[in-house]
Amino acid sequence: MKHLMLTTALIAAGAAGAVQAEAHKDATAASPFMAQPGEQSIHASNFIGMRVYAAENSGEMTEAEGAGQEWEDIGEINDVIMSRDGQVNAVLVDIGGFLGIGERQVAAKLSDVQFVSDSSTEDADDFFLVLNADPATLEEAPEFGAEQQASADMSEDGEGSDMAAATGTEASEDGMTDETPMESAEAETEEMANEAGEEMAEAGNEAEAAMDEAGDEMADAADNAGEAMEETGEDMAQAAENTGEAIEETGEDVAEGAENAAEETGEAVADAAESTEDTAEETGNDIAAAADEANDEMAEAADEATDADAENMAASKETGEPMMGEDMAEADAEAEGDMNGENFSAAGDAVLTAENLDGARVYDANDKWIGEVSDLVVTEEGEITDAIVDVGGFLGLGEKPVALKLSDLKIMQQDGGNELRIYTAMIESDLKEMPRFEQ
């Protein structure tokens, strides 16, 4: 695409354009090049493709607030016509048609095209191109280059037009064919239609023959399929008979095997029952022995706890100071730890963190494991106020979260280890009746 610079000087027609062109020539006599565009210059690449409007009596219009309602959008510029002295004479506009179909190209004189500033935008360079013409003038506008094209189509040697030569018609003495282009086209169309009809008839005959052949092949295939089905039926009958005999034989084998298996199973059950009876007796003895040992340990732990309470009370009387609740809790925790077969002591404040408490096991007043800590309630100051314990359920299914005050819980730590155990004065049934904690 040619990049031209269209200025208001070139847009103007007549003497004003000639005077400005001469002035420009004087100003640039020292150099044939332009360092930058002049004021209000327009690139041809932007100019081409702009929409052109038509409005009657728009010759004096210089500014408009948006496109006028009475303006008619007639098309877009696709080229510019210039003279050899650099004057822009006209713009080529594609008008009419729909989606490019039925358009015709007209040349609008640039002297009749107004550059109308668009005051509805903030850009001072926005403008409209408005042709001073009414709708009737547009309808009568000649198609640009139509006559020149018609002359070019005529043969220079008098033998007729290019169209006549293409259709094979003879030319008359004055260079025109005896047959009009329309008549020649009709004759050619009729000939083509006849040829197409013959080809269609021939194709129809071939299709009919192919259908007959296909019908014969389908009939043969049906006969063959019938014979194959008959043979298959006989084979299936024979196979069914053989299968029946095999099933009968298999039934006898299964019955015999079941009888033998039942006899063997009965003997195995009797042996297992005898062995189970012996094992149950041994297990009962072991359980009784373990129970006696546990009772002895519990009694010993209770005695130690009683002795510890007596010592603490004696010390309290001797010093005259009341026994601190923390000391009592520690003594109780040691006693409870001994009851579980392990030594646990009250956990210090440094251990009471969210990371350590999360997942710790919780035991009820009967020293029964009833769940784990699944979450903690922490204030904005970072203080832990409640422990959320999941109770009930089986293998994590059906558990119910309940909230227990941290101040009501005893938190024990394994002596010399990191394991934490949490004890509550409530029993499992009380915990299951508590309301579900909702996050």
Name the domain count of the chain: 2
DSSP letter for each residue of 111-139: GGEEEEEETTSS-TT-EEEEEE--HHHHH
Sheet order of strands, 88-95 included:
63-64, 113-118, 127-132, 51-55, 72-82, 88-95, 104-109
Q: Report the share of the chain in percent with pLDDT over 90.
A: 9
| Mean pLDDT value across residues 275-290 | 68
Q: In angstroms, rounded to a whole number, what is the distance separating the alpha carbons of residues 25 and 58?
A: 32
CB atoms within 10 A of CB 253: 10
Asked which of 91, 125, 149 is the last residue of a domain, the reply is 149
Label residue 9 by pLDDT band (50, 70, 90). Answer: very low
Domain boundary among 107, 134, 149: 149
- Whether residue 276 is contained in a domain is answered as no
Give the pLDDT mean for 227-239.
86
Q: Flag whether 404 is in a domain.
A: yes
210 in any annotated domain: no
State the pLDDT at residue 366: 92
Contact 336, 412 (CB under 8 A): yes
* CA gap 329, 130 in Å, rounded: 99
The pLDDT value given to residue 328: 45
Is 274 domain-assigned?
no
Full domain range(s) for residue 122: 5-149
Query: pLDDT at residue 26 above 60?
Result: no
Question: Greatest CA separation found in the chain?
Answer: 153
In CATH, what number is assigned to the domain containing residue 377?
2.30.30.240
pLDDT of residue 178: 52
User: What integer pLDDT is reported at residue 373 of this predicted model?
Assistant: 92
**39-51, pLDDT tens digit by residue?**
767 788 888 888 8
Q: What is the pLDDT of residue 124?
A: 77
Which range has the worst mean pLDDT, 39-43, 44-48, 317-321, 428-432? 317-321
**R_g of the chain computed on alpha carbons:** 55
Q: Is residue 259 part of a domain?
A: no
| Average pLDDT, rounded, for the chain | 74
Residue 401: strand, helix, or coil: strand
Rounded (10°) CA dihedral 156, 161, 163, 165: -70
Quote the tokens at residue 106: 């007209």
Q: Identify whether 123 is part of a domain.
A: yes
Closest among 95, 124, 99 to 107, alpha carbons compared: 95
Nearest alpha-carbon partner for 5 in 42, 33, 34: 42
Question: d(Cα 373, Cα 390) in Å, to the nearest integer?
Answer: 7
Q: In this predicted model, what pLDDT tens digit does every residue of 168-206 receive, in sequence order?
A: 444 444 444 455 555 666 677 778 878 877 888 888 888
Tens-place pLDDT, residues 97-155: 655 566 788 898 888 888 888 888 888 788 888 888 886 777 788 888 776 666 666 65
Q: Could you tell me how many residues make up the chain? A: 439
Q: Is residue 66 part of a domain?
A: yes
> Which of 149, 176, 192 is where one domain is finished?
149
Q: How far apart are the first and last CA of the chain?
A: 70
User: pLDDT (tens digit, 9 = 90+) per residue, 332-353?
Assistant: 544 455 445 468 888 888 888 8
308 assigned to some structural domain: no
Where is pLDDT greater, at 269 or 82? Answer: 82
Q: Which residue has the higher pLDDT, 277 or 338?
A: 277
Residue 404: the pLDDT is: 93
pLDDT for the residue numbered 7: 45
pLDDT for res 11: 44
